[in-house]
Amino acid sequence: MSAVADRLVPLVMRQAVELRAQSVEGLFVQAGQSVQQVQRDLLMRLRAVDPEAALSRFDELFARGPDGLWRLRPGKVDTVNAPTLYLHHGPDGPDESTRVRAAVSYDLLRERGPALVPPFFSAYMDFVEDGLMVYARGVDWGSGATADASNADYPTMRGADPKRNSDRRVFWTPVYFDEQAKAWMVSVIQPLDWQGRWVGTVGHDLSIETLIDAVAASRDQAGVQMILSADGDLISHPDLRDRIAAASGQLQIAGLKDPLLEQVHHMVSNAQADRGAGLSADGTQWIAWSRIRGPNWYQIYLMPQSRVNDLVIWGMLGLCAIGLLGLMPVLWSMRRMVSTLVVRPLQRLTEAVDTLGQGRTPSPVALGSEDELGRLARAFDAMVSELLQQRAIAAAHAQALQSEVDERRQYMVSLEEERARLFALLGAMKLGILFVTAENQVTYCNPAFLKIWRIQGDEASFVGRSVSDIFQAAGHGPSSLAALARHAQDAFKAPGLSSRYEMDLGEGQSLLLLSHPVHDSDKRYIGRLWIHEDVTRERQTAAQLIYLAERDALTGLYNRRRFEDELLRFFRGHGRQECRGALLFFDLDEFKAINDTFGHRYGDSVLVRVGNDVQALVRQTETLCRLGGDEFAVLMPNATVEDAQGLAERIVRAISQGPFSIEGRSLRLTASLGIALAPLHADNAEDFVAHADAAMYQAKHLGKNCWSVYRHDHHASQEMITRLAWNERISRAIEHDLLRLHYQGVYDAVTGELAHLEVLIRMLDESDMTQLISPRQFIGHAEKSGKILEIDRWVARNSIAMLSALPHLPALAINISARSFDDPSLPGYIAAQLQAAGVAPQRLLVELTETSAVSDLRDAERFIDALHHTGCQVCLDDFGTGFASFAYLKHLKVDVLKIDGLFIRNLTSEQDNQVFVRAIIDVARGLGRRTVAEFVESQEAMDMLKTLGVDMVQGYHLDKPQAEHPALATPTV
């Protein structure tokens, strides 16, 4: 009897454990196959997706919440039919790859999720960008995630990392307890690679609560059921459930010190077979095992040898009893056994089959025996379970299909609404819109199109007609229609290209015609979009802007900018050939006296009169410009010396003979004019201007009211030599970086704190690099030669760089010359430098001298307004040199007035100066401007200025200009 038991027990136990393993592994195998299929479907959709449509879909579905997480928009949340998402990303949103994957994954899980989830707990996709899109029926994972939620260290992500999983295989996670679902889970994961890099995972979660409960219930049976991982972790054990939970589902047998469990693990791992049975090493237990494919677990069945011995004893006793009771009891017993073991199970199976055949769900047969009928019953129950599962999947598919039908119906309604809105928008536009098919049939035109072309009728009457019909109905002349026909023909010849054409309709009216091809989603050409716009006003505005940029605001003549452009064009236009022409420079003798005596309003009228008189003498091929103040220039291309001398004589005579009457007084104006010839005197623009200017001063030395041709021998006067030498010296200083900045503090008069620093320029002496040259020695020459424009830009650029390098530094004040008023691009240059350096415009103060601002009042007004648009403050330096300048404050919208040092030097001893300073401060305060007193050289002057109410002070009493000002030092922490 024992020998029979030793042969029979392992066979029965192995069969039992195999059946149980098979019943468990079916779902795991299905999960592995499903996750691979989902990965293939997702990659196929990603390869075929239109990126623009996917990005638009992302913006429609997802939004960033207050906590920084990106989630599904609240109106889109539907936990029964669609997935949810949480995604970590910055305020600018995820990158394009992440948004495309999110949109495509959402649509895939919305479609497939309801069908997949019934056998599994969830279907999801991890993002390497630290996000999770998951569908689990009825669970809102996205809303449940907090700002600390992260999948970066999930086992799913660690196992999918190419460093750990280079062959990109499907893998199973260890068992874990899901806090949100409150259930024990295991996940099957398929790594997801796209566009040559790892982008995340695709996975399913499976709840194993039922499996764990089934093992826990096995304690009531003859043996013990357990589940063991291939690595020696206890997945489930009837007596160790709490300890497994405490170990997060990964309780190592090696740590239990349990001899029986160690024998079990040793036997299973050494057997190197998927299934088997045998007696333990100590002979106390029969052990049977079978591998569960998928997570690579083992179903274990233990039965004590003592239980087998009891069965053997009871079997022997039974045989004896049978012999004693005789044949009839045996037969009766056999009948009962047949009824119990065969008839009743067959009846239950028959009833279940009939119930299933009627379309209803039968109750589980659930025979507990291990014989053929028991296996048949379990197979039938498994078949019923699978059938129910398939029915659930089919029902879910049907529900998903119905949801999709409903969504598409709603989508069609939305499309109709969008179409109505689009037509309303197109109808309200001032642009003419025309849609035509590939066969040149009109499908739509808006009212603006008909109005532009003066077409009678409504837009609906042209739909379906040839595009030529609508243009034939246009109310413009034949020449315009012919030009339109040519443009349309060119567009039809190249249907895949856009075109642009501007048409002059006469009477100053201009049309801009744009044509763009229209393609469907498969990139097939389906027609064209014509956009016609009346650009008459834009062209007129552009012409006006060009006029204003090149013209002097006072006289209407060309300005210095146009003069410099014409001069460069003059020399470049001749290529390698010598340039031939003449340049005339002239200014009005003693013009400053008119401004000082009668005011700038009369001075402006004189300049206008002179400009008109000279303009009448200049030919169309010659260019007359006002360079600034009372300086004028005439460029005469291809002129001979006789032509230049003749025009010079006419100009000087016209100015001197013109009667000027101011306030009843008759004035006689004279002018000094210089002539330079090319190529005789110069072969470049710089020398041309310098020699014409020198010739003008030669004329002044001759007694004024005359003209002079540039002569090299007359250029030998000490003044001319000095001017030309300084021009060369300044050029070398700019080229070789010999300019230096010094700084002098401007302080708050009340608190004594540093308000800002004034930037002062110095030049290194080439002959002795330890010596500095004062700006008084070279600024005047730089202004005459035009080099001051480069110096102004150098100072602005380096001062802004200093502000950028020293964020703690207060504002810097830079001085701008009057010649820069003629440079309209300087404010834009300053704004660009501030933006590039990241410096706030409020940290830069621009100083203009009062005399230069008032002498060119209109230019100064425009220049100050442009500086204000950059955000910089403006200071009027040397204020009060002409006390009548109070009247100009309403035109010069400056922020700060710097009182001329003439009034400050002897402030404490001269009563008149005190009256002037008090008046300046009162006027400035009334106009909302701040004041600075310069040349403060004593404490007595400082105290008196405080009493008078000045806002800021500057002078040697406080500190001197220096290259290493203490304010430049980096503060210690």
Determine which helix (DSSP H) or strand (DSSP E) holds 177, and give its type and residue range.
strand 176-178
Q: Which of 276, 178, 261 is nearest to 227 (CA)?
A: 261
pLDDT in tens, 68-82: 899 999 989 999 899
Nearest-angstrom CA–CA distance, 829 and 831: 5
Beta bridge partners of 441: 466
570 class by beta-carbon count within 10 Å (0-12 exposed, 13-18 middle, 19+ buried): buried
Nearest-angstrom CA–CA distance, 43 and 919: 81
Any idea which of 95-104, 193-202, 756-765, 768-777 has the lowest mean pLDDT?
768-777
Percent of the chain surpassing pLDDT 90: 31
The band of 4, judged by pLDDT with boundaries at 50, 70 and 90, is low
Any idea which of 122-136, 260-274, 696-710 has the lowest mean pLDDT?
260-274
Choose the most confident range, by mean pLDDT, from 209-223, 423-437, 482-496, 738-752: 738-752
The band of 882, judged by pLDDT with boundaries at 50, 70 and 90, is low
- If you average pLDDT over residues 797-804, what whole number do you get? 94
Any idea which of 225-229, 404-408, 507-511 has the lowest mean pLDDT?
507-511
Any idea which of 216-220, 362-366, 497-501, 781-785 has the lowest mean pLDDT?
216-220
DSSP state of 711: -
Any idea which of 5-9, 162-166, 184-188 has the lowest mean pLDDT?
5-9
DSSP state of 882: S
pLDDT of 365 over the 50 cut: yes
**The pLDDT of residue 576:** 47
Q: How far is CA 77 from CA 251, 278, 400, in A?
A: 39, 55, 16
Structure tokens at 264: 């079990």
- If you average pLDDT over residues 356-365, what whole number do you get? 73
Concatenating the DSSP letter of every residue in 105-127 gives HHHHHHHHHHHHTTTSSEEEEEE
Q: How far is CA 813 from CA 181, 852, 924, in A?
A: 67, 17, 19
695 class by beta-carbon count within 10 Å (0-12 exposed, 13-18 middle, 19+ buried): buried
Q: Which of 42, 31, 37, 34 is nearest to 199 (CA)?
A: 42
pLDDT in tens, 292-301: 888 888 888 8
pLDDT in tens, 814-838: 998 877 776 778 899 999 999 999 9
Q: How far is CA 479 from CA 230, 526, 531, in A?
A: 89, 30, 20
Torsion of CA 426, 431, 435, 436, to 10 degrees: 160
47 class by beta-carbon count within 10 Å (0-12 exposed, 13-18 middle, 19+ buried): exposed
pLDDT of 209 over the 70 cut: yes
The band of 881, judged by pLDDT with boundaries at 50, 70 and 90, is low
Q: Where are the alpha helices (DSSP H) in 180-240?
A: 209-217
- Decide: 797 and 833 in contact? Cβ < 8 Å: yes
Nearest-angstrom CA–CA distance, 655 and 82: 89
Helices 826-837, 788-805: axis angle to 10 degrees equals 20
- If you average pLDDT over residues 556-583, what whole number do you get? 83
- Decide: 547 and 562 in contact? Cβ < 8 Å: no
pLDDT, averaged across the chain: 83
DSSP state of 339: I
- If you average pLDDT over residues 910-928, what whole number do you get? 89
pLDDT in tens, 262-286: 888 888 888 878 888 888 878 788 8
**The pLDDT of residue 61:** 94
CB neighbours of 491 closer than 8 A, spacing ≥ 6?
Answer: 499, 515, 528
**The pLDDT of residue 883:** 44
Write the secondary structure of 292-319 as one string of H (helix), E (strand) and C (coil): ECCCCEEEEEEEEHHHHHHHHHHHHHHH
**The pLDDT of residue 24:** 77
The band of 884, judged by pLDDT with boundaries at 50, 70 and 90, is very low
SS3 833: helix
Q: Which residue has the tokens 């949109």?
A: 103
**The pLDDT of residue 865:** 87
**The pLDDT of residue 802:** 94
Percent of the chain surpassing pLDDT 70: 85
Q: Which of 255, 220, 217, 258 is nearest to 236 (CA)?
A: 217
pTM, full prediction: 0.37
For residues 693 and 397, the model is more confident at 693
The band of 664, judged by pLDDT with boundaries at 50, 70 and 90, is low
pLDDT in tens, 309-339: 776 677 666 666 665 665 666 667 766 776 6
DSSP state of 845: E
- If you average pLDDT over residues 847-852, what whole number do you get? 71
- If you average pLDDT over residues 888-895, what whole number do you get? 77
172 class by beta-carbon count within 10 Å (0-12 exposed, 13-18 middle, 19+ buried): buried
Structure tokens at 919: 């008046």
